[in-house]
Structure 1
Amino acid sequence: MVAQLVRLKLTLLGNTFRRSVWQTIGMALASVYGLGIIVMVVAAAVLGGTTDPVTTGQVLTLAGALVVLGWWVVPLFAYGVDATLDPQRFVTFAIPRRRLLAGLAAAGVVSVPGAVTLLGGLGVSFAWWREPLALLAALAGALVAVALCIVGSRATTTLLAPLLGSRRYREVLAIVAVVPLVLLGPAIGSLTSTFSIGPDSVGEAVEPLARVVAWTPFGAPWALGSAVHDGAWGLLAARLAVVLATLAVLWTVWDRALARALVTPPGGETAGAGKGLGWFSRLPATPTGAVAARSATYWLRDPRYAASIAVVPLLPVVMYVTGVNAGAGTSFLMLLVAPLVAWVLGFGISNDVGYDNTAFALHVAIGVPGRADRWGRALPVLVAGTPIVVAFALVGCAVAERWDALPALLGISAGALTTSVGISSAASARFVYPVPKPGESPFKTPQGATVATMVAQFAAMGLMLALSLPTLVLGIVAIVTGLPAVGWVALAVGIVLGGVVLVGGVRWGARTVDRRRPELLQQVMAFR
């Protein structure tokens, strides 16, 4: 049964290369990139083990602990990203549960994350290549660590499946999950700038933490090589006991959770009681008003849109930390927050038709005019985005103590918001690419969507930048020179030029929707 499930996973993985040429190209590029990262990490580990094995072992313990922790935590945020070999699909098969567990565990390695973790873990073990016994212990620890990754991720997701399948949980989690992802880069940069680069400083910084982490299930398997290197055989036995005990507990939890899931699979969610018409009762009863009400509801309730909103309040933090780490001050970077927020909000509707999914059929069935469709999607962003952008511009000028730059900053921000909304209104009527379906994880990448998404988004961003250049040039000149007259000119140019692009983009998008409405529906339906 184990071999059968592994062959099934390999077959499913191989079939993904036959569905789309672009998907095959994207997978090949991702594989080459992943292999390059593995080679770099392994080379660094081997070099470090040759020069300073003690510090290298401590760093590997901390890095490996993060890998195991990521395997346990990330599936909770990206639940439903990989549904192949879902245990629910084996409910009608009379497969003994223990064999099913073993088969699913082995098949978990047959994936890009599993293969990268296995190859990387075995590769970094060669940091102990000068000591055969330490090398054997490190290799065994890497294999056990991969087992902890696979079994731990399966145990947590199977145990929490009823909660993870809740729509309210996904809506809240979509917002919460963005916070650590956005702050990860600044946090790493802050930690890097805190410690000097010298090996002595690195050892002093990581030694106390590595000593504690080595006693946890996350770091214990990666610290087996260090224990053998130090000749601490009792410590080796204790760490191995921690690993094996944790693996046994996780296997038991997964076994019982799977038994419950196979007998009582999760059912559909019951609809809650209605609480009024929401935005539909507040906006005019016109085609434009109806589309605007639905778009406003999407922005507040759909996790796929909520991810864009969650990034907005984090941008000032990212800019501030980046400026501090760079040692160049935070004034200029804080002035960039308002234009970035404007761009993020406007770009959020660049694939609105794709996010509609099958709901776009209603627009086709009742013949919603293209003008109502485009303005209905653009108005919520403009109405809600304008005060938000102005507020960030005021905060940026206050933090940077550059009130003289306010007119120029408002001009750049206004131009960015209106230009991005106009280009997005035109782009979403012409280029539709696959996105996660309603109710799915917002982090899911549909099959064959990577290259198409990148091409469409880069084209739209390039056009936005080109049309914003006059305002950007004037605004930067005003901010750098401090000339108030140039700042007011930048404000006027930003409002006028952005307004022209907005109206032109909406009109072009409206004509495109009227002309290509059946083709758009056909494209959306093909993504099912």
Structure 2
Amino acid sequence: MVAQLVRLKLTLLANTFRRSVWQTIGLVVGSLYGLGVLVLVLVAAVAGGAADPVVTGQVITLLGALVVLAWWVVPVFAFGVDATLDPRRFVTFAIPRRTLLTGLALAGLVSVPAAVTTLAALGVSLAWWRQPAALVAGLVGGVLATALCVVGSRATTTALAPLLDSRRYREVLTVVAVVPLLLIGPAFGWLADGVEVTVGGSGADALGEVVGPLAQVAGWTPLGAPWALASAAGEGAWALLVARLAISLATVALAWWVWDRALARELVTPRGGGTAAEGKGLGWFARLPATPTGAVAARAATYWLRDPRYAASVAMVPLLPLVLLAVGLSNGAGGGLFLVMAPLAAWILGFGISNDVGYDNTAFALHVATGTPGRVDRWGRVLPVLAGGAPLCLAFALVGCAVAGRWDALPALLGLTCGVLGASLGISSAVSARLVYPVPKPGESPFKSPQGAAMATMLAQMAAMGIVLAVSLPSLALALPAILLPQPALGWAALVVGLLTGVGVLLLGVRWGARTYDRRLPELLQQVMAFG
């Protein structure tokens, strides 16, 4: 049965090449990128081991701990639970849970990120190719590190998934998970500062003085212990090797137990089967005009406020000040970095409607059955974001200028923010009528990532970012010199150009998206229904 699950995952991966040209391109690009990263890691490990295996081991321990942390945290909020082998689909087959866990764990290795992580974890042991004992310890550590990444990732995503049904828990989890990742930036900044301070010695000595204490601490944590096995063996510290091996094994066993308990709960008590919520009036439908556009806008506003699947876009915006603070601490940029807060929030909010049709799922059939025109559909989705996002971006612009002490930059910043918000909303309105990709269905956990969704989302984000950047170039060309030089006259010009650009792209994008929507309405419905 374990082999059957692995073969099934391989079959699903192979079918990716037949599902969509874009998914095929994304998989090929991701594979080439992963291969390049793998080659770089292996060359650096061999070269570093030949030059100074002690410092190389310390760097591997630190970077390896960050890799494990990324495997545990990033999939929860960026990509979600891998749904290609949803365990709940095997309930009726009466597969023993331990067998199912083993099969899912091995099947979790069948992906580009898992393959790159596995080969890199084993390959870094080549840093100790001159010391057989350390080389063997490095291979053992690589196996344990890979198991920790895969099993720990499944344990965290499966255990935390039900909490996303509650908006309060979702917001708390977002903050708790993002804050440790924000510490990575200051840590690297502190590392760079330390190397500069100790630059009086050789490069390896300076780096060792900085990373040595950090690696010593990381080696005693569950995240870094498996990566530090080879260093302990290379130094002949056998007691330390045994202690770190015990920490690694205990962590893998604990992650396995958490995953087992969480999976048992998922199989026995499926989520989304509770009683229906008690009605409390018409909500936004009573507040907005009783017109077709008002009805679509009311439904879209309800999505933004109550649908957990929109949490990623909503939750990141309040965290922007914290993110910028962490980045500012790491590179010494100071309060000036807060000037990018408003344009960045505008882009995040605007891109939030780039796959609204996919989020509708079967409810999109109502638009088809009632003959909702494209103009009504596009404006109904834009207006709630515009009404809520414009005041928020204005507040961020005022806060950014206040923190930076640059009130002279306010006109340029407002122009750039308006341009980015209008451009991102307009481009999203046009793109969402042409490109639809799989998303979690209503009632499912936002942590779940349907097959092919991660790569499609990444490609859509990259394309949208490039187009928004291209149409925002006139505003950027005026706003940047107005802020950096500074030039007040250019700031007022940037305000005018930004407003014109934002309004123009918004109108054109909505109009283009409406025409595409009217032309492709049957195809859109067919795509959405296929996701079910």
Same-fold status (TM-score > 0.5): yes
Q: In 1, are the aligned partners of 2:26 and 2:456 still within 8 Å (CA)? A: no
SS at match of 2:82: coil
Cα offset, 1:130, TM superposition: 0.8
Change in CA separation of 1:484 and 1:22 when aligned onto 2, cut-off 3 Å: closer
1:207 corresponds to which residue? 212
2:527 is matched by which residue type in structure 1?
Answer: Q
User: Which range is displaced more, 395-404 or 279-288?
Assistant: 395-404
The superposition leaves residues 226-273 of structure 1 with CA deviations (integer Å, 9 ceiling, x where unpaired) of 222222223333333343444455555555665665555556233222
1:219 paired residue among 221, 224, 234: 224
Change (3 A) 1:31 1:272: same
| Aligned positions of 1:110-121 closer than 5 A | 110-121=110-121
Q: Tell me if structure 1 keeps the 8 A contact 2:83–2:448.
A: no
The equivalences for 1:435-514 within 5 A come to 435-440=439-444, 442=446, 446-448=450-452, 460-479=464-483, 482-514=486-518
**C-alpha distance in 2 between matches for 1:259 and 1:309:** 31
Which of 239, 242, 247 is the matching residue for 2:244? Answer: 239
Q: How does 1:145-224 map to 2 (within 5 A)?
A: 145-156=145-156, 160=159, 163=162, 166=165, 168=167, 171-172=170-171, 175-176=174-175, 179-180=178-179, 183=182, 186-187=185-186, 189-196=188-195, 198-224=203-229
Mark the runs of 5 or more structure 1 residues left unpaired by the alignment: none
Q: Tell me what 1:428 maps to.
A: 432
Change (3 A) 1:290 1:170: farther
Partner residue, 1:134: 134
Code of the residue aligned with 1:420 in structure 2: it is S
Q: Please state whether the residue corresponding to 2:92 is helix, strand or coil.
A: coil
TM-superposition CA deviations, 1:178-221 (whole Å, max 9, x none)? 83497366445433433216433432333334334333443333
Whether 1:364 and 2:363 are equivalent positions in the alignment is no
| Stretch of structure 1 that moved more, 502-511 or 111-120 | 502-511
Which whole-Å CA distance do the structure 2 matches of 1:320 and 1:78 have between them?
Answer: 21
Counterpart position of 2:297: 292
RMSD over equivalenced CA pairs, Å: 3.6
**If the length of structure 2 is used for normalisation, what is the TM-score?**
0.84
Query: Which residue identity is paired with 2:282?
Result: L
Q: Distance in 1 between the 2:160 and 2:299 partners? A: 30
1:269 to 259, 264, 274: 274
Range 472-481 or range 342-351, more displaced = 472-481
Quickly say closer, same or farther: Cα 1:369–1:93, change in 2 above 3 A: closer
For residues 165 and 514 of structure 1, the distance between their equivalents in structure 2, rounded to whole angstroms, comes to 35
TM-aligned CA distance change 1:31 to 1:275, over 3 Å: same
- Asked if 2 retains the 8 angstrom alpha-carbon contact of 1:166 and 1:269, the reply is no
Given the alignment, which residue of 396, 402, 412 partners 2:406? Answer: 402
Q: Residue by residue, what CA displacement relative to the aligned partner does 1:262-297 show, whole Å, maximum 9, x if unpaired?
A: 555556233222233222222222222211111212
Q: Distance in 2 between matches of 1:305 and 1:322?
A: 25
Distance in 1 between residues matched to 2:157 and 2:351, nearest whole Å: 33
The equivalent position to 2:233 in structure 1, one of 217, 228, 235, is 228
State the Cα distance separating 1:100 from its structure 2 match. Answer: 4.0
Alignment match, 2:283 = 278
Looking at structure 2, the residues matched to 107 and 464 of structure 1 have their Cα atoms a distance apart, in angstroms, of: 38
In structure 2, the CA distance between the partners of 1:108 and 1:188, relative to structure 1 (3 Å rule), is same
Q: Could you tell me whether the CA contact under 8 Å between 1:23 and 1:447 is conserved in 2?
A: no
Matched, 1:419 2:384: no
Write out aligned runs for 1:270-349 (5 A).
270-319=275-324, 322=327, 325-326=330-331, 330-331=335-336, 333-349=337-353
The answer as to whether partners of 2:84 and 2:450 remain within 8 angstroms in 1 is no
Q: Give the aligned residue type for 1:190.
A: G
Question: 5+ residue gaps in structure 2?
Answer: 197-202
**TM-aligned CA deviation for residue 132 of structure 1:** 0.9
Query: Per the alignment, do residues 464 and 414 of structure 1 end up closer, same or farther by CA in structure 2, a change over 3 Å counting?
Result: same
Maintained 8 Å contact 1:78/1:441: no
d(CA) in 1 for partners of 2:254, 2:341 = 47
Are the counterparts in 1 of residues 401 and 409 from structure 2 also a CA contact under 8 Å?
yes
TM-score (norm 1): 0.85
SS state at 1:429 partner: coil
Q: Tell me the residue number matched to 1:390.
A: 394
1:68-124 Cα distance to aligned partner (Å, 9 max, x none): 444445555568531344443333335445444444443333333432232111101
Alignment partner, residue 18 of structure 2: 18
Change (3 A) 1:250 1:317: closer
CA distance in 1, matches of 2:508, 2:150: 52
Residue of structure 1 equivalent to 2:30: 30
Partners of 2:167 and 2:308 within 8 A in 1:
no
Letter in structure 2 aligned against 1:349: I
Q: Which amino acid aligns with 2:162?
A: L
Q: Distance in 1 between matches of 2:79 and 2:24?
A: 24
Aligned mates of 1:261, 1:469 — CA distance in 2? 49
Compared CA separation, residues 305 and 187, structure 1 to 2 (3 A): farther
Query: Which residue identity lines up with residue 193 of structure 1 in the other structure?
Result: A
The answer to whether the 8 A contact 1:174-1:306 is kept is no
**Per-residue deviation, residues 385-417 of structure 1 (Å, max 9, x unmatched):** 222222222223323333233233323322332
C-alpha spacing 1:182/1:471, structure 2 compared with 1 (3 Å): farther
Which amino acid in the other structure matches residue 404 of structure 1? D
Q: Residue deviations 1:53-76, cap 9 Å, x none?
A: 222223323333343444445555
What is the distance in 2 between the residues matched to 1:490 and 1:256? 57
1:184/1:34 Cα in 2 relative to 1: closer, same or farther (>3 Å)? farther
Name the stretch that deviates more: 464-473 or 333-342.
464-473
**Distance in 2 between the 1:92 and 1:192 partners?**
53
8 Å Cα contact 1:174-1:304 kept in structure 2? no
Listed one character per residue, the Cα deviations across residues 309-341 of structure 1 (whole Å, up to 9, x for unaligned) are 33333434544554565556653x433332333
Q: Which amino acid aligns with 1:341?
A: A
Q: Which has the larger radius of gyration?
A: 1
Which segment is superposed worse, 90-99 or 273-282?
Answer: 90-99
SS of the residue aligned with 1:114?
Answer: helix
**Structure 2 vs 1, CA of residues 177 and 286 (structure 1 numbering), >3 Å: closer, same or farther?**
farther
Equivalents in 1 of 2:469, 2:461: separation in Å? 12
How much does 1:522 deviate? Answer: 2.9
Aligned positions, number: 526
